[in-house]
Amino acid sequence: MATDPYHSFAAELRNSLRSAQELAGTYSKGSASSTNTDTDSQRAAHDALVDALEALEADIADVRESVNVVSRSPERFGLDEQELGNRRRFVKDCEEQFKRLSKVPGERPTTTRKYAPDAGDADADLERGASRGDDDVEAFEREQQQSLLAQQDNTLSLIGRSLTSLRTQASAFGTEIAEQVELVGALDSEVDTSQSRLKRAMGRLDEIARRSDDRCGGWCVWLLVVALMFVLLLVILI
Protein backbone atom coordinates (compact mmCIF):
# COMPACT_ATOMS: atom_id res chain seq x y z
CA MET A 1 0.00 0.00 0.00
CA ALA A 2 1.35 3.45 -0.97
CA THR A 3 2.16 6.04 1.69
CA ASP A 4 -0.55 8.65 2.23
CA PRO A 5 0.98 12.12 2.88
CA TYR A 6 -2.36 13.67 3.78
CA HIS A 7 -2.07 13.41 7.54
CA SER A 8 1.31 15.14 7.77
CA PHE A 9 0.17 17.91 5.39
CA ALA A 10 -3.12 18.30 7.26
CA ALA A 11 -1.30 18.64 10.59
CA GLU A 12 0.90 21.38 9.14
CA LEU A 13 -2.18 23.08 7.71
CA ARG A 14 -3.95 23.08 11.08
CA ASN A 15 -0.89 24.62 12.72
CA SER A 16 -0.61 27.27 10.01
CA LEU A 17 -4.33 28.06 10.25
CA ARG A 18 -4.16 28.39 14.02
CA SER A 19 -1.12 30.65 13.79
CA ALA A 20 -2.75 32.83 11.12
CA GLN A 21 -5.92 33.17 13.20
CA GLU A 22 -3.93 34.25 16.24
CA LEU A 23 -1.93 36.78 14.23
CA ALA A 24 -5.10 38.11 12.59
CA GLY A 25 -6.69 38.58 15.99
CA THR A 26 -3.61 40.37 17.30
CA TYR A 27 -3.42 42.60 14.22
CA SER A 28 -7.11 43.46 14.38
CA LYS A 29 -6.90 44.38 18.07
CA GLY A 30 -3.80 46.48 17.48
CA SER A 31 -5.40 48.27 14.54
CA ALA A 32 -8.54 49.03 16.53
CA SER A 33 -6.67 50.42 19.53
CA SER A 34 -3.86 52.24 17.72
CA THR A 35 -4.15 55.82 16.54
CA ASN A 36 -1.31 55.50 14.05
CA THR A 37 -1.37 52.57 11.69
CA ASP A 38 2.17 53.18 10.48
CA THR A 39 3.83 52.38 13.76
CA ASP A 40 6.59 49.80 13.81
CA SER A 41 4.54 47.37 15.85
CA GLN A 42 1.64 47.51 13.41
CA ARG A 43 3.93 47.09 10.44
CA ALA A 44 5.59 44.10 12.12
CA ALA A 45 2.19 42.58 12.94
CA HIS A 46 1.05 43.19 9.37
CA ASP A 47 4.15 41.55 7.91
CA ALA A 48 3.86 38.58 10.26
CA LEU A 49 0.21 38.11 9.30
CA VAL A 50 1.00 38.33 5.59
CA ASP A 51 3.79 35.76 5.96
CA ALA A 52 1.46 33.49 7.91
CA LEU A 53 -1.19 33.80 5.20
CA GLU A 54 1.36 32.92 2.52
CA ALA A 55 2.41 29.84 4.48
CA LEU A 56 -1.24 28.96 5.03
CA GLU A 57 -1.99 29.25 1.33
CA ALA A 58 0.94 26.97 0.51
CA ASP A 59 -0.19 24.40 3.09
CA ILE A 60 -3.72 24.45 1.68
CA ALA A 61 -2.26 23.82 -1.77
CA ASP A 62 -0.27 20.87 -0.39
CA VAL A 63 -3.32 19.30 1.24
CA ARG A 64 -5.43 19.93 -1.87
CA GLU A 65 -2.79 18.26 -4.02
CA SER A 66 -2.57 15.26 -1.67
CA VAL A 67 -6.35 14.86 -1.85
CA ASN A 68 -6.22 15.04 -5.65
CA VAL A 69 -3.48 12.41 -5.72
CA VAL A 70 -5.34 9.88 -3.58
CA SER A 71 -8.61 10.62 -5.41
CA ARG A 72 -7.13 9.25 -8.63
CA SER A 73 -6.48 5.82 -7.09
CA PRO A 74 -8.01 5.61 -3.60
CA GLU A 75 -7.69 1.82 -3.48
CA ARG A 76 -3.89 2.15 -3.40
CA PHE A 77 -4.18 4.14 -0.17
CA GLY A 78 -7.00 2.09 1.37
CA LEU A 79 -9.54 4.94 1.28
CA ASP A 80 -13.27 4.94 0.68
CA GLU A 81 -15.62 7.63 -0.62
CA GLN A 82 -16.58 8.76 2.87
CA GLU A 83 -12.97 9.47 3.82
CA LEU A 84 -12.39 11.28 0.53
CA GLY A 85 -15.49 13.39 1.17
CA ASN A 86 -14.24 14.29 4.65
CA ARG A 87 -10.91 15.39 3.23
CA ARG A 88 -12.52 17.49 0.51
CA ARG A 89 -14.75 19.19 3.09
CA PHE A 90 -11.72 19.87 5.26
CA VAL A 91 -9.91 21.52 2.35
CA LYS A 92 -12.97 23.58 1.45
CA ASP A 93 -13.40 24.76 5.04
CA CYS A 94 -9.73 25.77 5.22
CA GLU A 95 -10.04 27.68 1.94
CA GLU A 96 -13.05 29.61 3.25
CA GLN A 97 -11.21 30.50 6.45
CA PHE A 98 -8.23 31.59 4.38
CA LYS A 99 -10.45 33.91 2.32
CA ARG A 100 -11.79 35.53 5.49
CA LEU A 101 -8.33 35.90 7.00
CA SER A 102 -6.85 37.30 3.79
CA LYS A 103 -9.19 40.30 4.09
CA VAL A 104 -7.77 41.32 7.47
CA PRO A 105 -4.51 42.93 6.25
CA GLY A 106 -6.41 44.83 3.55
CA GLU A 107 -8.81 46.48 5.97
CA ARG A 108 -6.17 48.96 7.16
CA PRO A 109 -3.69 49.82 4.40
CA THR A 110 -0.16 50.51 5.55
CA THR A 111 3.04 51.61 3.92
CA THR A 112 4.36 48.10 4.15
CA ARG A 113 3.89 45.50 1.47
CA LYS A 114 0.34 44.40 0.84
CA TYR A 115 -0.82 40.82 0.75
CA ALA A 116 -1.64 41.13 -2.96
CA PRO A 117 1.77 40.96 -4.64
CA ASP A 118 2.85 42.85 -7.72
CA ALA A 119 4.00 41.19 -10.93
CA GLY A 120 7.53 40.59 -9.63
CA ASP A 121 6.23 39.13 -6.40
CA ALA A 122 3.78 36.99 -8.35
CA ASP A 123 6.63 35.53 -10.40
CA ALA A 124 8.58 34.89 -7.22
CA ASP A 125 5.54 33.25 -5.66
CA LEU A 126 5.14 31.05 -8.72
CA GLU A 127 8.77 30.03 -8.51
CA ARG A 128 8.43 29.30 -4.81
CA GLY A 129 5.26 27.34 -5.49
CA ALA A 130 6.97 25.30 -8.20
CA SER A 131 9.94 24.70 -5.93
CA ARG A 132 7.65 23.67 -3.09
CA GLY A 133 5.78 21.36 -5.46
CA ASP A 134 9.04 19.71 -6.49
CA ASP A 135 10.04 19.39 -2.85
CA ASP A 136 6.68 17.82 -2.04
CA VAL A 137 7.06 15.32 -4.88
CA GLU A 138 10.54 14.43 -3.68
CA ALA A 139 9.28 14.10 -0.11
CA PHE A 140 6.43 11.90 -1.30
CA GLU A 141 8.85 9.70 -3.24
CA ARG A 142 11.18 9.50 -0.23
CA GLU A 143 8.27 8.41 1.95
CA GLN A 144 7.36 5.73 -0.56
CA GLN A 145 10.96 4.53 -0.71
CA GLN A 146 11.18 4.47 3.07
CA SER A 147 7.94 2.51 3.21
CA LEU A 148 9.25 0.01 0.66
CA LEU A 149 12.51 -0.31 2.57
CA ALA A 150 10.60 -0.88 5.80
CA GLN A 151 8.50 -3.58 4.12
CA GLN A 152 11.65 -5.20 2.74
CA ASP A 153 13.23 -5.11 6.19
CA ASN A 154 10.15 -6.77 7.67
CA THR A 155 10.20 -9.41 4.94
CA LEU A 156 13.90 -10.11 5.48
CA SER A 157 13.30 -10.32 9.22
CA LEU A 158 10.53 -12.88 8.67
CA ILE A 159 12.77 -14.87 6.33
CA GLY A 160 15.58 -14.77 8.91
CA ARG A 161 13.27 -16.05 11.64
CA SER A 162 12.02 -18.80 9.32
CA LEU A 163 15.59 -19.86 8.50
CA THR A 164 16.47 -19.90 12.19
CA SER A 165 13.45 -22.08 12.91
CA LEU A 166 14.36 -24.44 10.07
CA ARG A 167 17.93 -24.67 11.32
CA THR A 168 16.69 -25.52 14.82
CA GLN A 169 14.36 -28.18 13.44
CA ALA A 170 17.15 -29.63 11.28
CA SER A 171 19.44 -29.80 14.32
CA ALA A 172 16.71 -31.57 16.30
CA PHE A 173 16.16 -34.03 13.44
CA GLY A 174 19.90 -34.71 13.25
CA THR A 175 20.07 -35.41 16.99
CA GLU A 176 17.08 -37.74 16.79
CA ILE A 177 18.55 -39.60 13.81
CA ALA A 178 21.86 -40.04 15.67
CA GLU A 179 19.98 -41.48 18.65
CA GLN A 180 18.08 -43.85 16.36
CA VAL A 181 21.36 -44.99 14.78
CA GLU A 182 22.77 -45.72 18.24
CA LEU A 183 19.64 -47.71 19.13
CA VAL A 184 19.88 -49.70 15.90
CA GLY A 185 23.56 -50.43 16.58
CA ALA A 186 22.76 -51.62 20.10
CA LEU A 187 19.96 -53.80 18.72
CA ASP A 188 22.32 -55.34 16.16
CA SER A 189 24.79 -56.17 18.94
CA GLU A 190 22.06 -57.79 21.00
CA VAL A 191 20.87 -59.80 17.98
CA ASP A 192 24.41 -61.03 17.31
CA THR A 193 24.80 -62.03 20.95
CA SER A 194 21.45 -63.83 20.91
CA GLN A 195 22.39 -65.68 17.72
CA SER A 196 25.66 -66.83 19.29
CA ARG A 197 23.85 -68.07 22.37
CA LEU A 198 21.27 -69.83 20.21
CA LYS A 199 24.00 -71.57 18.23
CA ARG A 200 25.67 -72.78 21.40
CA ALA A 201 22.34 -74.01 22.77
CA MET A 202 21.55 -75.84 19.52
CA GLY A 203 25.00 -77.46 19.59
CA ARG A 204 24.39 -78.72 23.09
CA LEU A 205 21.01 -80.10 22.10
CA ASP A 206 22.56 -81.91 19.13
CA GLU A 207 25.22 -83.42 21.39
CA ILE A 208 22.61 -84.59 23.88
CA ALA A 209 20.50 -86.09 21.10
CA ARG A 210 23.51 -87.85 19.60
CA ARG A 211 24.46 -89.35 22.92
CA SER A 212 20.90 -90.43 23.51
CA ASP A 213 20.81 -92.11 20.12
CA ASP A 214 24.05 -93.96 20.85
CA ARG A 215 22.76 -95.28 24.17
CA CYS A 216 19.44 -96.37 22.72
CA GLY A 217 21.22 -98.19 19.89
CA GLY A 218 23.36 -100.26 22.36
CA TRP A 219 20.36 -101.31 24.42
CA CYS A 220 18.51 -102.32 21.31
CA VAL A 221 21.37 -104.62 20.26
CA TRP A 222 21.45 -106.35 23.62
CA LEU A 223 17.70 -106.73 23.61
CA LEU A 224 17.84 -108.30 20.16
CA VAL A 225 20.58 -110.72 21.29
CA VAL A 226 18.55 -111.75 24.32
CA ALA A 227 15.45 -112.21 22.20
CA LEU A 228 17.37 -114.30 19.68
CA MET A 229 18.80 -116.54 22.40
CA PHE A 230 15.32 -116.97 23.87
CA VAL A 231 13.95 -118.00 20.48
CA LEU A 232 16.80 -120.51 19.97
CA LEU A 233 16.17 -121.94 23.38
CA LEU A 234 12.52 -122.42 22.59
CA VAL A 235 13.37 -124.11 19.31
CA ILE A 236 15.76 -126.50 21.01
CA LEU A 237 13.34 -127.37 23.72
CA ILE A 238 10.54 -127.97 21.33
pLDDT of residue 172: 76
DSSP letter for each residue of 152-219: HHHHHHHHHHHHHHHHHHHHHHHHHHHHHHHHHHHHHHHHHHHHHHHHHHHHHHHHHHHHHHHHHHHH
Q: What is the mean pLDDT of each run of 10 residues along the chain (238 residues)?
A: 69 84 80 60 80 85 84 80 87 88 65 46 56 67 77 77 76 80 85 82 75 65 79 75
This prediction has a pTM of 0.40
pLDDT of residue 114: 41
Domain 5-108+164-237, CATH number (from 3.20.20.370, 1.10.579.10, 1.20.58.90, 1.10.3720.10): 1.20.58.90
pLDDT of residue 118: 52
pLDDT of residue 113: 44
pLDDT of residue 81: 86
pLDDT of residue 37: 46
95, 60 Cβ separation under 8 angstroms: yes
pLDDT of residue 109: 43
10, 90 Cβ separation under 8 angstroms: yes
141, 69 Cβ separation under 8 angstroms: no
Residues 19, 25: Cα–Cα separation, whole Å: 10
166 residue type, one letter: L
